Every structure is written in C-alpha cells, then in structure tokens.
Amino acid sequence: MTTKTLRQTLLDARAAKTSAFVPFVMAGDPDMTTSTGILLSLEKSGAAAIELGVPFSDPVADGVTVQQAAERALAAGATLAGVFDMLKQARAQGLAIPVCLFSYLNPIFYMGYDVFARTARDAGAQGALIVDLPPEAAADYLATMKAAGMETVFLCSPTTDPVRLALIDAASTGFVYYVSREGVTGAQTALPTALSEKLADLRAHLTAPLAVGFGISTPAHVAALTGKADAIVVGSALVKTIGEKAADAPAALAAQVKELLAAA
C-alpha cells in the first residue's frame, strides 16, 4: 500500500470540509518498543497523519510536557538513527498513514541533509518540520529534500508578516503549520480569540494546506476548529498521557483520541 503524502492528506480533508487529525508524540517515549505500539494505536483510533518528535536535549520551542518527554526518550537511549529504526518497525507492522518528523536542526545538520533526507524517506517518513530552521536559511535543505522526494513543513505565527508568509508558503511542499499563539507548546484552557478568523485569512492567502497547533488539547477545542484548518495538531495533551501511562499508553491514547474525535 502506498502511503499518501502529507499535502494530499490535508487537501482531502479540506475537500471533505473537515480537518485531518494529526497527533504529535515523541519518538522513544517511554521507549522505542512502546512508541511503535503508540503509532499503530493512533492510526487505528482515527489519526490521519502523525507528527513524530525527534528527541533533542535543548527543545527551546517546547513547553515542560514535551521537554520531559524528550528527556525520557533520551534517557531510554533514543537517537535519530533509533527513531528511523522504530518507524521502519511501525511500517513493517502495518502503519499506513503519513508521518512528518518534527525536529530541531542540530541532529539533522550533524547527520547531513542528504543522509537525513534519504534515510528518513527509506524509514517511511513523508516529510519533516525543522522547528529552528527558517526558510530564509533553508536553500540547501529544501533542494536536498526535494531531490529525495521528501515534503517540507514550515511554521508561521500570529506575528508573521505577509512578505514572510509568502516565503514560508513557497517553501512548504507539505503544509504550513500555524502556531496558534505566541510562546512554547503546551495545553491551554481557551483558544485565542479570533483564531477562526485568522485561519480563514491564512487559507485565503496560502497555496499550501494549513495545519493549526500549539495549545489544542480538549474535545471542545477540536470541535471549534474542525473545518477551519486542513489539519488540527494535538500534542501536549497526548504526551502528558504517555508520561502518566508509560507501557499502557497505546490503549490510553486510543481512548483519548476517540474522545477528541467524537467532538469533531
């Protein structure tokens, strides 16, 4: 079975007037074996794609919950090569939905863009979001990813100006990821005011599909945003469950995802 691209997954959701559900989890949390089960459980529970975090020792864009997940994964021996091996195992066990790697630049740069792009592709990833690599500095990365047939994702935020938004749009062959608020990742009780209007404005100006994330954590949030963006990313709320349930996380996440999607 050929895995759909990230871009097509989001475009299909748009055509259906809904939003693709994209969970974020940290690879190797609590360990690589459980991570494989988590990915498979997320797909069975209704995820349209998965954002798979690469553990890093200095995750400056992440809040405490995701930082702790990275620490747990690193303590368990996670490496970038290990993340690739785990994804291969998940594919071998039937994982069919697209996967977007979420990483910081340091481990990618150390491995080398060409090796990273080819190895990630061969492991079963469709694309990557390098959170601290701006499109202005990404020419070599973009060329290498394109040559390997890998999709690229870049971030925009409430403070992104129109000129830079156009640059981000042009660089994003997978989708544009809108950070719904200023600051780091983490669950929040209320969505930003006028978020729906902001998403509508972005969709009117972007050629790439649009995902929204950062702080989305409850069924009510998912219900409020369904159809307003092409994908909804939920991370910290799921990562918190993994931290609490450890080896029992796959079953716990299945129940949590079904609850989130029931509100859509």
The predicted-structure confidence for 170-210, as pLDDT tens digits, reads as follows 999 999 999 986 544 445 566 888 899 999 999 999 999 99
Mean pLDDT of the chain: 94
Q: Which structure tokens are listed for 139? A: 């020419």
Residue 90 has phi, psi (to 5 degrees) of -65, -40
What percent of the chain stands above pLDDT 70?
96
Mean predicted confidence (pLDDT) in 84-110: 97
Q: Which DSSP category does 254 fall into? A: H
**Residues 102, 225 contacting (CB under 8 angstroms):** no
For residue 239, which of 46, 8, 30 has the smallest C-alpha distance?
30
Side-chain-facing half-sphere of 63: CA atoms under 13 Å? 16
H or E element at residue 251: helix 249-262
Is position 51 annotated as part of the catalytic site?
yes
In one-letter notation, the amino acid at residue 162 is P
Q: Cα–Cα distance between 212 and 77 in angstroms, integer? A: 31
Going by CATH, does the domain composed of 6-262 fall within 3.40.50.620? no
Q: pTM (2 decimals)?
A: 0.95
Where does the pLDDT of residue 163 fall: very low under 50, low under 70, confident under 90, or very high at 90 and above?
very high
Q: Which of 62, 151, 169, 230 is catalytic?
A: 62
Smallest CA-to-CA distance from 55 within 75, 73, 39 is with 73
Q: Which of 29, 31, 43, 51 is catalytic?
A: 51
Beta strand segments in the chain, E: 20-26, 50-53, 99-103, 127-130, 151-156, 175-179, 210-213, 231-234
Q: Provide the residue ranges of all domains of the chain, joining segments of one domain with +.
A: 6-262
